[in-house]
Structure 1
Amino acid sequence: MQATIAPTTPRGGLVVAIEDDRWLVCLFGAGDVSAPEGFDAYAAALENPHIKQIVEGCQPLSPL
């Protein structure tokens, strides 16, 4: 997990392991921060490298 601590850390994310070898990934921003560059790039921009690694190694089950 990477929590947002606005205004110094406006981006955050959370990864939770769920059933059947699936992961729930939530990316969020504080204030005016959003993900205009896309989900993968947003995950890669986080300070926590584990979120990027999980996103890179997974296949989405559905569109965002």
Structure 2
Amino acid sequence: MKITVDPARCQGYANCVAAAPDAFDIDDVTGKAVLLRTEGDPGEIREAARSCPVAAISVEG
């Protein structure tokens, strides 16, 4: 599974953190989502991508 976060699109809503806290966090400096790790519950990671209101997360595979 390939997961990417587009920092230009991210607005820091943190929906991804709520859906998959082991995979995403909000950077303290930029206020944008960062990918912590690519392993994890695929369902949670896909839900995190779906819950992003600005579609800043993409999941392939």
On whether the aligned pair clears a TM of 0.5, the verdict is: no
Q: TM (normalized to structure 2)?
A: 0.29
Q: Identify which of structures 1 and 2 has the higher relative contact order when contacts are C-alpha pairs closer than 8 Å and 6+ apart.
A: 2
